[in-house]
Structure formats: C-alpha cells, structure tokens
Amino acid sequence: MKTLLKECSISISEAGMPELRQDPITQRWVVIAKARAKRPDDFRERPKTAGTATACPFEYGNESMTPPETMAIRPSDTTPDTPGWLVRVVPNKFPAFSTRIDGRTTGGLYVSRSAFGAHEVVIHGPDHGLTMATYPEKHVALVLKTYRQRYEYHMKQPYAGYVQIIINHGEESGASLEHSHSQIFVIPVLPEKPRALLDGASRYFDIHARCVFCDIISAELTFARRVVDESAHFLAFEPFAAQLPFETWMLPKEHKPRFEALNDNEIEDLAKIFRRTVRRFLNGLGDPPYNMYLFTAPPRYERPETMHWFMSITPKLTTPAGFEMGTGMTINSTVPEECAEFLRNVKI
Ligand SMILES: [Zn+2]
Ligand SMILES: [Zn+2]
C-alpha cells in the first residue's frame, strides 16, 4: 500500500500543482489538489470569539497576508494592497485551479490534464463580523458588481471552459475561513452539472421553442405557493423538485443568459432580494451554514436563447449519506411548498 501511494503521488508532487483527472467510466472530472489539504482552518485554529490574537488575512492592515489583489473597489486616493478598500479580490493562496502551466495532458485509460485556470477569493468587506445578510444592501450590490467585473474578465480568457462563483457560509458549508467571502473558479473544462443544465435546457428548447426557465417562472408566478419573494426584476422560489430543504432559486424574470450582462439597476435590485433571502435564513433558521452557486452561460456559448442564469442558495441542514452517494438521488424530507410558506413568513 505504501508503495502504491508513493507511486500515485509522484506526478502531482513533482509538478506541485493541482491536476484534473477524468473518471474512465462516468467521464466526471475531479480536481486533485494536494496543497489545499494544508490550508489553515479558521474554525478550528482560531477561537470564535471577537478580539482573538491571531490576525485575520481579510481585514484592514493584513493585506500582505494574502497574494496581491487582482482588483478592488476602493477610493482612488488609496493604493492597492493597503486599507481603504470596500471589496477586495485576491488569488486563492491554496488554489484548486492554478495559473501556472505545466502542459501535462495524458491519455489512454486514465485521462488527466493540468488544472490550468484561476481561483480567486472575493473578500466581501473589511468587517469580520458582517455577512451578506447583515451588510447594508448597497454593500451587497458592490459585491455583486465585483462578480460582474470578474465574469467579464474571466469569460474572455481562452482557457476558460466555465466560470463558477460560489459562497460557502459557515463551517459546515465547507468554508475554511470565517470572514465572509466568495470564491471564483475558472475551470478549463465544462463540469458535469452545468453541462446537464445546458443539455436539458437545449433539449426543452428544441421541443417547445421556448426557454425552460422562462416557462418555470411563469408557472411559479401562476401557482404562487412556491414563491418566496419577488422584486422588480427577480423571482425567488423553491424549485418544484427541490433536492434539499429550503433550496431557493433566484432568477431574472426577463430572459437573460448571462449574469455579467446585468445593468446597475438590475444589480441593485438583485442585491435587495438576495440579501432578503439570506436574512430569511438568518432570522427564520438561525443562521445555518449555506452554499450559494451561480449558474450562467459558459464562455463562447452558442445557444444563449436556451440559457437563463440563476442563483441557488441552499442551507446545509443535512449530510449526504450512502443512498445519495450510491444513487446521486436525494431524499428531501421537507415539502417545497411548505418551505416556501415558512420563508415567506419570516420577519426580515
Ligand atoms: Zn476577518
Ligand atoms: Zn429564459
């Protein structure tokens, strides 16, 4: 066993960078990123109480603890990597996708390639105690404008197969640092889940000549019982086949394939409904850990008429077990209509 482990780790440790491997049966890609196992764990190494002795890398004065910023929203009289910023983007210190190329691609039974791409952290603000639910709405809009700017930049890169933005909030969600932040993954391949969504939406369009998401929006507005919230441009609801309790989707009511095409007015409206949704989790469910992911058209996508971007936010209240791992099917122990009613009635 020892020899086997040693042999398996040779190709990775020599290059010292993450690697993409494809499962020869299902064609699913996996990132093998050895360095990430060594990343510091905020939740265990630092006591949760305020005023701890260990410095947080995401606060004013600690800018040198992160790699140099790739962008920031900051007053023009301040300089990069110094205090004064409102939202700051830095490369992840322990990337799952690296901007270094080692050019390795292998074939045969086992297909692997270097995980060339990018992995950035969006630090939501300098205040350790605030989250997307407690920052003012205007500040949440700045974070969303940062997403838009990073999408615009990364989507143009020739190596980008997909750009994934996520938030892991809370320890059980997979976050390693407590300070509120998002992550941006620039992936050289199109992963399984976005591919399945794109294929499904294309198939629906071929049959009905309509966007499936637009049809879902009008069905949900008519049925109304799964709607959680509505703003001028967006609808928040629990999907008909919600995989997990309180899984909430937010979509633009107008057909829009790309997040980065949002104008300022729409971004401000999205900030309002997004903040309200996470406040429902905070006030109604006691600030559970949650995962947010954005689904948007991949770079150079040729069928924008079939695609409709959305944001999904799901509290982490259950842990996948043997059945879910074996079948890829989840058992949702709650009814989406009841979850929607509960969230609708939370005082925000
Ligand atoms: Zn902090
Ligand atoms: Zn649509």
**Distance, CA of 116 to chain centre:** 19
- Ligand whose nearest atom lies closest to the CA of 124: 1
The predicted structure's pLDDT at residue 193: 95
**203-238 as b/e: b if 16+ CB within 10 A:** ebbeeeeebbbbebbeebeeeeebbbbebebbbbbb
Beta carbons of 121 and 89 less than 8 angstroms apart:
yes
Task: Give per-residue pLDDT as tens, 9-46.
Answer: 334 434 467 889 999 999 899 998 877 666 666 665 55
Out of 2-11, 19-28, 278-287, give the one with best mean pLDDT: 278-287
pTM attached to this predicted model: 0.91
Band (pLDDT 50/70/90 cuts) for residue 170 is very high
CA–CA separation, 164 and 186 (whole Å): 6
The predicted structure's pLDDT at residue 103: 63
The mean per-residue pLDDT over the stretch 201-214 comes to: 98
Band (pLDDT 50/70/90 cuts) for residue 3 is very low
Instruction: Give 254 Cα–ligand 2 centroid separation in angstroms.
Output: 7
Of 252-266, 297-311, 315-329, the one with minimum mean pLDDT is 315-329
Instruction: Give 191 Cα–ligand 2 centroid separation in angstroms.
Output: 22
Q: What is the mean pLDDT of the chain?
A: 90
The mean per-residue pLDDT over the stretch 149-154 comes to: 98
Tokens of 75: 């007053």
Of 67-71, 142-146, 172-176, 297-301, the one with minimum mean pLDDT is 172-176
The predicted structure's pLDDT at residue 152: 97
- Give the per-residue SS3 of 67-116: CCCCEEECCCCCCCCCCCCCEEEEECCCCCCECCCCCCEECCCCEEEECE
- Between 101 and 76, where is the model more confident? 76
Q: CA torsion 308→201→119→71, rounded to 10°?
A: -20
**Cβ < 5 A residues, ion ligand 1:** 56, 58-59, 128, 179
- Between 319 and 248, where is the model more confident? 248
Band (pLDDT 50/70/90 cuts) for residue 96 is confident
Q: What percent of the chain has pLDDT over 70?
A: 89
**Cβ < 5 A residues, ion ligand 2:** 211, 213-214, 255, 308
The predicted structure's pLDDT at residue 13: 36
The predicted structure's pLDDT at residue 10: 35
Please identify which of the residues 124, 181, 233, 308 carries the catalytic annotation.
181
Instruction: Give 238 Cα–ligand 2 centroid separation in angstroms.
Output: 17
The answer to whether 181 is a known catalytic residue is yes
Q: Check whether 47 has a pLDDT greater than 50.
A: no
Task: Give per-residue pLDDT as tens, 246-279.
Answer: 999 999 999 999 999 999 999 999 999 999 999 9
The predicted structure's pLDDT at residue 37: 67
- Ligand whose nearest atom lies closest to the CA of 210: 2
Instruction: Give 318 Cα–ligand 2 centroid separation in angstroms.
Output: 31
Instruction: Give 249 Cα–ligand 1 centroid separation in angstroms.
Output: 29
- Ligand whose nearest atom lies closest to the CA of 88: 1
Instruction: Give 10 Cα–ligand 2 centroid separation in angstroms.
Output: 47
The mean per-residue pLDDT over the stretch 73-92 comes to: 97
Residue recorded with tokens 């995962």: 291
Instruction: Give 172 Cα–ligand 1 centroid separation in angstroms.
Output: 18
Q: For the purposes of burial, counting CB atoms within 10 Å of the CB of 8, is it exposed (0-12), middle (13-18) or buried (19 or more)? A: exposed
- Ligand whose nearest atom lies closest to the CA of 57: 1
CA neighbor of 168 nearest in space, from 151, 187, 183, 148: 183
